[in-house]
Amino acid sequence: MHARMFHPSSPWLPVLSVVAGIGTFSAMDAAIKGASIATGVFTALLLRNVFGTLLTLPLWLAAGCPLPSRAVLQVHATRSAVTAAMAALFFYGLVRIPLAEGIAISFIAPIVALYFAAVMLGEKIRPQAITASVLGVIGVLVIGWGRFGSGAYSADAIRGTVAILCSAMFYAVNLVYQRKQALLAGPVEITLFQSGIVALIFLCFSPWLAVWPDAMSVRLILLAATMATMALLFLSWGYARAEAQVLVPIEYTAFLWAALFGWLFFGEGIEPATLAGAMLIVLGCWIATKKPRGATIV
């Protein structure tokens, strides 16, 4: 049974790769949030992508320096621009509200992305993908009821919430481009060009927005860059081997990671409603990974 599950052609391997990528990205979120509080969102994101480019460069050289065609480079650039806007809005919001809360709000993105995938990639939306999305939405609503139903938001928290909702729209487009990009280029190429182009985008604004970071922030950002590089490699590998509608619901596991890291690093508690919603989310993810009879995942 276990041998079949982890056979090279197993549909579970792309799922596990994406789960690992989401977990690593969630740890990166916690590190960048800490650095952003100290140095500001712009500087944290600028240095994270600069460090990420430098960390990926040796891997790219070892892979033979693969260069994208003009058409593929356009895809890299488009996704990088989307990612830059998404990240800036997300971390602007995340420094104003708790980590798990921000992740929960962003879960609107995978729902929207399922339908973007149908329009942009021509994927057919299968019934189990819709069921998984519904369960995910219900889970997020349960979590939101537990977290948000007890009191009013401050003005700063409202700004953070709006920023994360706007970020989620960019995130939905990013998820679909992630699948398209993974079909055109390898993980190392994707990771290098995304980090490099995003760094260039932020460098254009650095004369006005960058500040000099302290030593602790630099260490946090370097750690975050390492985790972001690892996460991009995991996600690119997984999305090259399974459809977006199968993998997108796995994004919901980010809340489980965020709840863990929020508790470890920021002292956020986990309420019963959070656990109930998480169970629904995990159930939705499990349904999404089930193959239809007679279908294969490559």
Task: Write the pLDDT tens digit of every residue in 239-266.
Answer: 777 776 677 677 778 888 888 898 888 8
Query: Is 27 within a domain?
Result: yes
pLDDT of 112 higher than 90: no
Domain that holds residue 35: 13-127+154-242
Number of independent structural domains in the chain = 1
Q: Tell me what pLDDT residue 35 has.
A: 93
Eight-class DSSP state of 73: H
Query: Is 146 within a domain?
Result: no
The four Cα atoms 212, 215, 221, 225 give a dihedral, to 10 degrees, of 110
Lowest mean pLDDT among 85-94, 170-179, 287-296: 287-296
Average pLDDT, the chain: 81
Query: Is 134 within a domain?
Result: no
Instruction: Give the pair of three-digit tokens for residue 277.
Output: 């919603």
Q: Tell me what pLDDT residue 6 has.
A: 45
Query: Is 248 within a domain?
Result: no
Query: Is 17 within a domain?
Result: yes
Query: Is 275 within a domain?
Result: no
Query: Is 3 within a domain?
Result: no
Q: Per residue in 176-224, pLDDT tens?
A: 887 778 788 888 888 899 999 999 999 999 999 999 989 999 999 999 9
Angstrom distances, CA of residue 72 to CA of 181, 183, 189, 235, 298: 8, 10, 11, 18, 21
Higher-pLDDT residue of 240 and 22 is 22
Give the sign of the dihedral formed by CA 118, CA 124, CA 127, CA 128.
Answer: negative
For the purposes of burial, counting CB atoms within 10 Å of the CB of 155, is it exposed (0-12), middle (13-18) or buried (19 or more)? exposed
Query: Is 269 within a domain?
Result: no
